[in-house]
Amino acid sequence: MSPYYVYILQCKDGTYYTGMTNDLEKRLAQHQEGYDD
């Protein structure tokens, strides 16, 4: 069983984005590229 991460990111407009992933580095890169699911 692979670990999962819960994260909270502050966006450029000051809002917060919360999510969950099992690949934190990949998800952070996706967020920085503007990918939003």
Q: Where are the domains of the chain?
A: 1-37
CA distance 17 to 7: 8
CA dihedral (25, 30, 33, 37) positive or negative: negative
pLDDT tens digits, one per residue of 1-37:
889 999 998 888 999 989 999 998 998 898 888 876 6
Nearest to 27 by CA among 14, 8, 12: 8
For residues 7 and 24, the answer to whether their CB atoms sit within 8 Å is yes
Please tell me the number of Cα atoms within 13 Å of 24 on its side-chain side: 9
Q: What is the pTM of this model?
A: 0.64
pLDDT score of 34? 80
Pair of tokens at residue 29: 């890169």
